[in-house]
Amino acid sequence: MKKLVLSLGAFFLFLNSAFAEITTIVPNSYVPGNASVSYVNAWLPFHNPAALAHEKVGAIQLQYDNRYITKELNTALVSGCYSTKYVNIGASFSYFGYSVYNEMLTALTFARTFGDRFSLGIEFNYYTVFFSPTERYRGTFTANIGLQAKVIDNFYISFAAFNPVFSKIKTEFLDKSLPVVFSLGTLYQITDQVDWLVQIDKEVKSPLRWATGVEYRPFKEFIVNAGVYGSNYAVPTLGVGFHFSGFEFRLNTEYHTRLGLSALGALRYTFQSQKRK
């Protein structure tokens, strides 16, 4: 059992370094190039919590993500958010893995705008990992903070820090540090239909990751996006989205030259209400 635990630990550590990204803990997003820190069109749980401040009413979302067509590398996510007069509130839950090894992340998020150009958000997370039948579940609290600033018209700069408190889980056999990630990115709204995102992420122990992507909305009902991110490898991403009376369906794919294809599907429903902030 000890060997199994150590092997699994080593495997996931490899995944972390091979991806040089935010690790399996944080679910992927459908944002082009995964350059999500400055994305303002929707709140993406576990990414930049400041984006929640832009939600006008409320929404629920389901997301399913499979990495490299490997059945053990699935992440399911469910989230919901609600806008109030003072602060927007979001709740989310994600599950990654399978019976022998799995990780869960639960979050409660608060965000609000200050004026029409600046928003702040904070997310309180509880991370749980199932190591083995003997170790069972271990968990720890952490946080995710972020801001989005509209510097000039059509141009945003955003920042997010995941786990700035350096939370980690200690067991008898493993000492698992949660990733500590600093993300900085920009959004340039080239036209009403075209957004260009650029981002860099630095996990404290890993190499720098860069990302960029373009989202194009030719019609109200249709979205297409393309991007690329990378560290040691460049990973292209391609996605489409459909929008009908409150429902939005997104499909995103990415291709890693060594590890293969990943796919993500998300369904989001935005409440229709007269209430506006």
* Chain residues in the site for other proteins (CB under 8 A): 86-87, 110, 112, 114-115, 117-118, 120, 122, 145, 147, 149-152, 157, 159, 161, 164, 166, 180, 182, 184, 200, 202, 204-205, 208
Looking at beta carbons only, is 111 or 228 nearer to other proteins?
111
| 182 neighbors 2 (Cβ within 8 angstroms) | no
| Nearest distance in Å: CB 195, other proteins | 19
Strand partners, 211: 199, 229
Looking at beta carbons only, is 55 or 254 nearer to other proteins?
55
Q: What is the DSSP letter of 7?
A: H
Distance from C-alpha of 106 to C-alpha of 124, rounded to nearest angstrom: 8
Q: What is the DSSP letter of 70?
A: -
Looking at beta carbons only, is 188 or 255 nearer to other proteins?
188
Q: What is the DSSP letter of 11?
A: H
Looking at beta carbons only, is 91 or 122 nearer to other proteins?
122
| Nearest distance in Å: CB 176, other proteins | 14
| Nearest distance in Å: CB 200, other proteins | 7
Burial class of residue 125 (count of CB atoms within 10 Å of its CB; 0-12, 13-18, 19+): buried
| Nearest distance in Å: CB 143, other proteins | 9
| Nearest distance in Å: CB 161, other proteins | 6
Strands 118-130 and 102-114 come out as antiparallel
Phi, psi of 236 (to 5 degrees): -80, 150
Place of tokens 């083995």: 132
| Nearest distance in Å: CB 111, other proteins | 9
| 24 neighbors 75 (Cβ within 8 angstroms) | yes
Place of tokens 């996990």: 203
Distance from C-alpha of 177 to C-alpha of 17, rounded to nearest angstrom: 13
Looking at beta carbons only, is 95 or 118 nearer to other proteins?
118
Looking at beta carbons only, is 205 or 275 nearer to other proteins?
205
